[in-house]
Amino acid sequence: MPDRYVPALTPEQWEARDYRQAARELDRWAQDDAAHAGDDDSTEYVAKLGLNAAGSVIAMSRAHDRVLVPPPARPVLAAFALDGQPFGFTHADVAALRRAAESISDEPTSRALRDLGERLRVLLPPAPA
């Protein structure tokens, strides 16, 4: 059975901390999504993402406008980026980790699962009432 999820970056992209989307792929996406794009200017789409030495995320558009997302804003960027994505996670995933943590007698493993659940929880929108 093939993997359900494809890694976001190749090992080389992780090492370079740099991702560049091919212009033709970006154009194809913009054209396919034209019904939802409305008045968007296709040169405003992110064509490059990276990390600088200070830990800021670098986002660059096709028009070469550069924006830095400093480390304090990276959790927000991560939360927005994961929201609604098939490779993201849900409150049900957090609850499953909590149940697993409660069912394990090994305290270090239980603590690690609780901590993982908490790290995931803070990246999710508020739970439905």
pLDDT greater than 50 at residue 78? yes
**Is 25 contained in some domain?**
yes
Which pTM was predicted? 0.75
**Is 42 contained in some domain?**
yes
CB-neighbour burial class of residue 45 (10 A; exposed 0-12, middle 13-18, buried 19+): middle
Residues constituting the chain: 129
- Percent of the residues in the chain that have a pLDDT greater than 90, as a whole number: 58
Q: What's residue 1's pLDDT?
A: 41
pLDDT greater than 90 at residue 91? yes
Express each pLDDT in 105-128 by its tens digit: 999 999 999 999 999 999 999 888
What is the DSSP code string of 90-114?
Answer: -HHHHHHHHHHHHH---HHHHHHHH
Express each pLDDT in 40-66 by its tens digit: 677 788 889 999 999 999 999 888 899
d(CA 102, CA 81): 30
Provide the domain limits for residue 112.
91-121
Q: How many structural domains comprise the chain?
A: 2
Whether 16 and 64 map to the same domain: the answer is: yes
d(CA 39, CA 77): 23
Whether 103 and 52 map to the same domain: the answer is: no
**Is 79 contained in some domain?**
no
What angle do the packed helices 91-103 and 107-121 form, to 10 degrees? 170
Whether 21 and 65 map to the same domain: the answer is: yes
